[in-house]
């Protein structure tokens, strides 16, 4: 390919955007993600030799590596421009290793946004490869491999194959299990509130009882409440004080990765995974008026820092659209939390003058919704404060004191553009409008309303509140949250019900086994400290080998103890306090069999009693009486015998009555299950997501979750990567006898294909 300098990015989508601005002076190509990784079938870490990782070319990537060597040709300058984060740094290092050549120079390029000026400036100010950032990525990868590849086999041996443990995923499961147990242990307490319906100037309004004899009102039961109601029958209600206060409210900072995920989950009903997929598309470049353009800055960031020029540009737009009153005299900058890496800016539009209305014709509905959120939040961050007039009326009725409040927006400020979910809720609460009143005025009492309440248990985690909890506790990094949340659902450790997570039975069991054998690994503080260690490796404050050695010495002991002492769910099982109803001598134990978890008598084989079980709302295990299988009028597809309805791990299923001669089974619940693929529906005007589903006969297909409103469906598995040839929104995985497994475009006219090697 000649000796032109070569620019290498990690995503094929970026190639077109960058080529446009660099012209013919450079060749531009892509690694299509990581090209090297640790091997799948072994741990790949030489623990005895300083934890040296053994990297190999990822199966299926040999062709990509050959293409990289070919296009590099005789080029003396290679500009390595994968994403500006630790993973991107690892890709840059691995690419430099495969392209190393005498006399060749490697330059690290960081594209924080994909606009003409930013691209040209980044090439001009390229740096050396960052050793410490690469080591931080290595340390994370090695730690995750040491934990996952050494604890998971213990779970396979003690519980069942296919289970996995992870340095961060197991902590996320623990957080959900702990919350569920807090809910189960919660005992509601009764309390009462009292409201007075009062009239002033022919207008009714409500006031709440706040204080009794100067102390905060506490009404524990109905008897006390009725006593207060009786007292108030003969009292006059007189305004003792009117408080007026103007509150200044500041806008929130621009989004970082975690806050973007939380707000998109709440406002747009996106998953964390979907949010990151769409944000990546907005960052990498959208065709606008024939030109590819990156619409937002890099979307994996913990920093609220913004460039001065961006703030000035926002101020100019605000001045034009809203006038001087809505601008601020100088840019508003936000402080980062302690220890936040400040390599990237916050997530903001690359140009405020590319408004959501301007780009609407070029974006899908999902892309537009997310861009709108990012654009508005950033613009609002550079707008004047909102002014809220708060009015509080204090009303005396003998020894009882009531208050009524209301607020009006005196000046919208930033609220003219954007309000968060919390701000919208606050505005709703304060929307009461009170009639004009003066002090010492006697009010007309219409009625007194006592209301019974009970304290509420802590709520289950939603995806948004789990992201917030992980971030606040320093667990993992926001860029990994989408993958963590997907993994703990795929492994069936947690279920999502009405948008909230609860543990499954296998989630409880695995969590409890790991808590006993690996308390440090599941400890929130320990995991957060490990994240700090990784940050300190990146800033050269700590040494990689030192951090790994300090972790591994105690971990190695725990591994040996767990291998010897962890309860085997296949043999002994986990004890319960339920006496066996059959032999009445031994207790029942939770065990795991081919149909999942069940209760069995500890006296086996002398006593063969077993049954299914469930947990009640207090988390207590209750044995379920075994029902005999029900005969159906359906015939077995294999042998023609009648089918029975049985109950197993995943609910009811059909089984052949000729078992064990015929082992045919068919799920009765599976067709209703759907697993997210993280791919947005490509149908125009549809905001749905493509889910993995099953037909009535158990065949897998992929269809939109908005069915029957949208009937988009396909047989091949969608992969959430845009087509590098035609930029179609995603590609699909296909398998044929002749070609094996490969990726191909969803557009029939596109010829893109990429061979994959089966694991």
pLDDT at 261 over 90: yes
pLDDT digits (tens, 9 = 90+) for 541-573: 999 999 999 999 999 999 999 999 999 999 899
- Alpha-carbon gap, residue 388 to 404, rounded angstroms: 16
pLDDT tens for 351-410 read 999 999 999 999 999 999 999 999 999 999 999 999 999 999 999 999 999 999 888 889
- Give the pLDDT confidence score for residue 758 in this predicted structure: 47
> With contact defined as beta carbons under 8 Å apart, do 651 and 624 qualify?
no
Using the predicted structure, report yes or no on whether residue 511 has a pLDDT greater than 50: yes
What mean pLDDT is predicted for residues 648-664?
78
CATH number of 190-250+386-454: 2.70.20.10
What per-residue confidence (pLDDT) applies to 179? Answer: 97
Dihedral over Cα of 204, 210, 213, 217: its sign: positive
Collect contacts of 489-497 with beta carbons under 8 A, ≥24 apart.
490/675, 491/163, 491/164, 491/169, 493/173, 494/173, 494/176, 496/463
Who's near 5: CB < 8 A, 6+ residues apart?
25, 26, 27, 75, 76, 77, 78, 79
Q: Where in the chain is the domain with CATH 3.40.50.140?
A: 6-129
Does the pTM surpass 0.85? The reply is no
Tokens matching residue 344:
């990237």
Class of domain 138-186+459-565: mainly alpha
By three-state DSSP, how is residue 678 classified? strand
Six token digits for residue 585: 């001598």
- 62, two tokens: 């040999």
| Fold type of domain 257-381 | Topoisomerase I; domain 4 (1.10.290)
**Tokens describing residue 667:** 């799920």
* Average pLDDT, integer, range 124-133: 93
CA distance 20 to 39: 37
Instruction: Judge whether residue 759 has pLDDT over 60.
Output: no
Secondary structure class of 462 (helix, strand, coil): strand
Output the pLDDT for position 757. Answer: 59
Tokens representing residue 170 in the block? 């197991």
The CATH number, out of the four listed (3.40.50.140, 3.40.50.720, 3.40.1190.10, 1.10.3720.10), of the domain defined by the range 6-129: 3.40.50.140
pLDDT at 431 over 70: no
Judge whether 298 counts as a catalytic residue: yes
By percentage, how much of the chain surpasses pLDDT 90?
63
Residue 581: predicted pLDDT:
93
Asked if 96 and 75 touch (Cβ cutoff 8 Å), the reply is no
Q: Length of the chain, please?
A: 759
Sequence-distant (≥ 6) Cβ neighbours of residue 697 within 8 angstroms? none
Residues 753 and 759: their CA atoms lie apart, in Å, by 19
Average pLDDT, the chain: 89
Written as six digits, the tokens of 617 are: 């709302």
Rounded CA-CA distance 475/467 in Å is 10
Region(s) of the chain under CATH 1.10.290.10: 257-381
pLDDT digits (tens, 9 = 90+) for 217-252: 999 999 999 999 999 998 999 999 999 999 999 999
SS3 171: helix
- 52-79: average pLDDT: 92
- What are the tens digits of pLDDT across the range 180-197? 999 999 999 999 999 999
E-assigned strand segments in 605-715: 610-615, 621-624, 630-635, 642-648, 651-656, 665-667, 675-680, 689-694, 700-704, 713-714
Question: Which pLDDT belongs to residue 672?
Answer: 47
Give the count of beta carbons closer than 10 Å to the beta carbon of residue 560: 9
Which has the closest alpha carbon to 150: 132, 137, 167, 175? 167
Q: Which of 298, 418, 552, 702 is catalytic?
A: 298
| pLDDT value of residue 671 | 47
In the chain, list all ranges with CATH 1.10.460.10. Answer: 138-186+459-565
Q: How far is CA 268 from CA 111, 275, 370, 686, in A?
A: 28, 9, 8, 13
CA-CA distance, 691 to 673, in Å (whole number)? 9
CATH 2.70.20.10 residue spans of the chain: 190-250+386-454
- pLDDT tens digits, 691-738: 888 775 667 889 887 776 677 889 999 998 888 887 788 999 988 877
Closest CA to 724 of 679, 754, 756: 754
């Amino acid at each position: 390919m000649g000796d032109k300098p070569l620019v290498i990015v990690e995503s094929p989508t970026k190639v077109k955007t960058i080529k446009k601005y660099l012209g013919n002076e450079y060749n531009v190509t892509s690694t299509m993600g990581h090209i090297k990784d640790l091997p799948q079938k072994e741990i790949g870490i030489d623990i005895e030799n300083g934890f040296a990782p053994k990297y190999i070319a990822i199966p299926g990537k040999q062709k990509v590596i050959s293409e990289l060597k070919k296009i590099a040709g005789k080029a003396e300058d290679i500009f390595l421009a994968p994403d500006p984060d630790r993973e991107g740094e690892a890709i840059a290092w691995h690419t430099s290793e495969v392209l190393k050549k005498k006399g060749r120079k490697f330059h690290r390029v960081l594209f924080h946004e994909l606009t003409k000026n930013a691209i040209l400036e980044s090439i001009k100010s390229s740096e050396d490869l960052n050793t410490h950032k690469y080591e931080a990525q290595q340390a994370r990868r090695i730690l995750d491999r040491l934990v996952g590849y050494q604890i998971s086999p213990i779970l396979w041996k003690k519980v069942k194959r296919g289970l996995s443990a992870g340095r961060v995923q197991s902590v996320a499961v623990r957080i959900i299990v702990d919350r569920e147990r807090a809910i189960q242990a919660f005992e509601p307490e009764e309390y009462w509130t009292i409201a007075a319906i009062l009239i002033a100037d022919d207008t009714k309004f409500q006031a709440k009882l706040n204080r009794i004899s100067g102390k905060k009102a506490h009404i524990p039961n109905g008897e006390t409440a009725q006593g207060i109601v009786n007292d108030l029958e003969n009292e006059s209600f007189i305004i003792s004080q009117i408080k007026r206060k103007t509150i200044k409210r500041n806008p929130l900072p621009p989004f970082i990765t975690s806050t973007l995920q939380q707000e998109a989950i709440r406002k747009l009903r996106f998953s964390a995974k979907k949010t990151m997929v769409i944000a990546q598309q907005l960052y990498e470049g959208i065709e606008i008026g024939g030109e590819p353009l990156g619409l937002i800055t890099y979307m994996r960031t913990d920093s609220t820092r913004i460039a001065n020029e961006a703030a000035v540009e926002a101020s100019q737009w605000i001045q034009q659209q809203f006038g001087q009153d809505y601008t601020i005299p100088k840019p508003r900058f936000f402080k980062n939390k302690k220890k936040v890496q400040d390599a990237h800016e916050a997530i903001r539009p690359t140009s405020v003058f590319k408004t959501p209305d301007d780009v609407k014709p070029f974006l899908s509905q999902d892309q537009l919704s997310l861009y709108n959120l990012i654009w508005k939040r950033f613009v609002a961050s550079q707008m004047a404060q909102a002014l809220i007039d708060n009015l509080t009326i204090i009303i005396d009725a003998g020894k009882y004191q009531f208050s009524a409040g209301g607020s009006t927006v005196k000046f919208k400020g930033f609220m003219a553009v954007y309000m968060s979910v919390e701000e919208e809720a606050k505005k709703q609460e304060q929307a009461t409008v009170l009639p004009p009143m003066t002090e010492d005025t006697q009010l007309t009492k219409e009625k007194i309303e006592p209301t019974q309440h009970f304290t509420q248990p802590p709520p289950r985690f939603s995806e948004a509140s789990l992201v917030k909890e992980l971030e606040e506790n320093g667990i993992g990094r926001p860029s990994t949250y989408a993958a963590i949340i997907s993994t703990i659902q795929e492994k069936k450790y947690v279920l999502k019900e009405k948008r909230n997570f609860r543990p499954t039975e296998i989630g409880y069991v695995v969590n409890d086994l790991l808590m006993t054998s690996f308390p440090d690994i599941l400890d929130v503080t320990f995991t957060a400290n490990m994240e700090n260690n990784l940050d300190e490796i990146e800033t050269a404050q700590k040494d990689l080998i030192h951090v790994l050695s300090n972790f591994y010495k105690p971990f190695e002991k725990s591994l040996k103890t767990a291998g010897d002492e962890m309860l085997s769910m296949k043999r002994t099982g986990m004890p319960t306090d339920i006496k066996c109803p059959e032999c009445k001598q031994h207790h029942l134990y939770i065990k795991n069999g081919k149909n999942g978890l069940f209760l069995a008598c500890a006296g086996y084989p002398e006593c063969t009693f077993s049954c299914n079980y469930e947990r009640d709302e207090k988390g207590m295990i209750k044995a379920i009486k075994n029902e005999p299988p029900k005969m159906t009028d359906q015939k077995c597809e294999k042998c023609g015998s009648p089918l029975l309805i049985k109950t197993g791990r995943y609910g009811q299923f059909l089984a052949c009555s000729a078992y064990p001669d015929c082992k045919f089974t068919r799920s009765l619940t599976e067709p209703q299950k759907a697993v997210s693929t993280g791919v947005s529906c490509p149908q125009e005007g549809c905001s749905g997501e493509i889910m993995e589903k099953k037909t009535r006969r158990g065949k897998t297909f992929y269809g939109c979750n908005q069915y029957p409103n949208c009937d988009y469906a396909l047989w091949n598995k969608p992969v959430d990567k845009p087509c590098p040839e035609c930029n179609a929104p995603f590609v699909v995985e296909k398998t044929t006898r002749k070609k094996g497994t490969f990726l191909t475009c969803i557009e029939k006219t596109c010829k893109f294909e990429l061979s994959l090697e089966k694991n």
